[in-house]
Amino acid sequence: MSTPAVLVDRVDDVLTITLNRPERRNALNPQLLDDFDAAFAAVDDEVRVVVLQGAGKAFSSGHDLSWNPEEELDDPTDEAALAAITERLHEITRRIRGCPVPVVARVHGYAVGGGAEIALSADLVVASDTATFRFTETAVGLVVTNGFTALLPRTAGPVVAKEIIMLGEPFGGVQAKAWGLVNRVVPDAGLDAEVARIVGILREKSPHALLLAKSLLDQAWEGSAEEVMRRETLASVRACLHPDVREAAAAFSEKRAPRFSPVAPAGAR
C-alpha cells in the first residue's frame, strides 16, 4: 500500500489534517488532492476544530512540477477538460470554506502557489516567523486560482494583490500579517503552543454561533450593505432559536462552563 498523501488524526474533538509528502515538501499531486478532499469526510458532528498542517520542513511547496495534468488528457486543447483540472484545484477552497467548523492553518517553512492558497484559505492562520509565502504561478505560465484573485485584493488591497501575484516575490510571516493575510506570527518554537491556544479558545465557543459567523464572513464580499444586514437578521433569528443561547445563559447563572450542542457536518445540514 502507498503512503497516504494526507494524514487524518482525531484527538477528542479536534481533527488534524496533515499534508504528508515531506520528501517533496508536500507538493500537490493528484493523490494529495484526492486525499485532501476525502479527509474532510472525517468532520462529523463531534468535531469542533480542524487544524491544517504540513509534515516535514514545509507546509506545501505548491504544484508538483513532476505532475503535468495536460499530459493526462486525450486532447490537450480540450477546454472543458482543462477547466475540470482547475475545478479540481478549486475543491480545496470549497472544502475549507464549506467546513462547518473553524479551520486553523499551522504554517511553517514554504507555503507556495497552491500551498499558499490552502494555508490562506483557512479561517485562522498561525505562521512561524520563518515561514515563506509565495505565489509563483505567473513565473510558470499559470494563473492564481482558489478565489485568490478576489480574496487578495479584498484582504491586502488591490495594489498589494497585484504585487503579490504579478511579481511573485517571496514574503515572510511578518509581512503576511502586515498585509492582513495571517492572524498570528510566532517563533518556530512557539508555533504549536499558539495553535493549541487558539484551538482551545475555539473549543469553548458555541459551534452553532461559529458556523453562522463563518458563513456570514465568507459572504462578506457578496451584495450591498442592505443584503449583508438581511443575512445578519436571518442568522440572528437562527441563533436566538438555537439551544446554545439558553445553555449559555444557564451556564452563566450557574457559574459553570457551557455545554454547547455539536454542529452537524456539512453534508448533513
Grid coordinates in use for 153? Answer: 485584493
The region, left, alpha or beta by phi > 0 then psi within -120 to 50, assigned to residue 4 is beta
Instruction: Select which of 137, 204, 226, 254 is catalytic.
Output: 137
Which residues neighbour 130 within 8 Å (Cβ) at sequence distance 6 or greater? 108, 109, 172, 173, 188
Per the listing, cell 477552497 goes with 93
CA distance 239 to 17: 29
Strands lying side by side in the sheet with 132-134: 110-112, 132-134, 171-172
* Helices vs. strands in the chain: H and E counts, helices first: 10, 9
Instruction: Count other C-beta atoms under 10 Å from residue 37's C-beta.
Output: 15
Q: Which three cell numbers mark 92?
A: 480545496
* Tally of CA atoms within 13 A in the half-sphere of 34 that contains its CB: 5
Is 227 one of the catalytic residues? Answer: no
Exposure string for 181-211, b = 16+ CB within 10 A, e = fewer:
bbbbbbeeeebeebbeebbeebbebbbbbbb
Residue 223, C-alpha cell as written in the block:
451584495
What residues does 7 pair with on adjacent strands? 18
Beta pairing partners, 195? none
DSSP-derived 3-state class of residue 246: helix
Query: Catalytic residue positions?
Result: 137
